[in-house]
Amino acid sequence: MNYPNGKKPSRQVNQMNKEKTSFSKRGMTLEEDINETNTFYLHSNKAVIHKKPTPVQIVKVDYPKRSAAVIKEGYFKQASTTDYNGIYQGKYIDFEAKETKNKTSFPLANIHDHQVEHMQSVCEQGGICFLIIRFAFHDETYFFPAVKLFSFWNSQFNGGKKSIPYNKIKEVGIKIPFSYQARVDYLKVIDQLYF
């Protein structure tokens, strides 16, 4: 093969390029992975779990022509609760998905008061409620039960840390390995913990 400068690239350059390339994430975000997982669950008749739409109040719409309405202005009607809900083996499932680039901890600022209140209500009613937390730096995803979150959440208002250390999430949470069809197979963890 002829190269532009007439020389083959050195093995060292090729090796460096191979080291920089990582196919582990395949360009997917946590939300995309969960959506793919939920589609697999639905099509294989395992569970019915969907992403909740955020309610929006549309204020201004332009109609340049009948078939092409353009929303120009809108506002969130209310604060949303958690990202996903549905049903699995007769139990209500409700969870929030969070991804962080932080290496050493999960910042509690990623969660809002109304979300924690909602999760507490779900737990009180006997639903299965949890967080799915992905540490992008470590390329690791964890199932973190909501009941474990509450003590960390309350502690921050009494002088405690405003984050959950990565090591604590590794200890208390359950790692969800990446798989092909169910990319974030959280039902395996639910089976292990609740059934």
Q: Residue 136's domain is classified under what CATH number?
A: 3.40.1350.10
Taking the C-alpha atoms of residue 4 and residue 25, their distance in angstroms, rounded to an integer, is: 33
The pLDDT of residue 165 is above 70: yes
In a domain, 126, yes or no: yes
| 24-64 confidence digits (pLDDT tens) | 444 459 999 999 999 999 999 999 999 987 777 788 888 87
Find out whether 115 is annotated in a ligand binding site.
yes
Distances (CA, A) of 143 to 87, 159, 179: 17, 26, 15
Taking the C-alpha atoms of residue 189 and residue 52, their distance in angstroms, rounded to an integer, is: 22
In a domain, 87, yes or no: yes
The pLDDT of residue 4 is above 90: no
Contacts of residue 81, Cβ cutoff 8 Å, sequence gap at least 6: 52, 94, 114, 115, 118
In a domain, 16, yes or no: no
Taking the C-alpha atoms of residue 42 and residue 147, their distance in angstroms, rounded to an integer, is: 27
Paired with 194 in beta bridges are: none
Domain that holds residue 89: 35-53+80-194
Contact status, residue 141 vs residue 134, Cβ threshold 8 Å: yes
Q: Which is more confident, 16 or 32?
A: 32
Find out whether 19 is annotated in a ligand binding site.
no
- Tokens read off for 64: 């340049």
Residue identified by tokens 């909501």 is 146
In a domain, 134, yes or no: yes
In a domain, 72, yes or no: no
Distances (CA, A) of 20 to 23, 110, 185: 10, 30, 28
In a domain, 151, yes or no: yes
Find out whether 54 is annotated in a ligand binding site.
no
Compute the mean pLDDT over every residue in the chain, rounded to the nearest whole number: 86
Q: Which of 48-52, 71-75, 77-81 has the highest mean pLDDT?
A: 48-52
In a domain, 15, yes or no: no
Find out whether 83 is annotated in a ligand binding site.
yes
Distances (CA, A) of 126 to 48, 70, 146: 18, 43, 12
Other residues' Cβ atoms within 10 Å of the Cβ of residue 163: 18
Residue identified by tokens 């992905």 is 134
Q: Where are the alpha helices (DSSP H) in 50-98?
A: none
User: Nearest CA to 85 among 58, 125, 56, 57?
Assistant: 125
In a domain, 59, yes or no: no
Taking the C-alpha atoms of residue 52 and residue 80, their distance in angstroms, rounded to an integer, is: 9
How many structural domains comprise the chain?
1
Mean pLDDT value of segment 6-17: 50
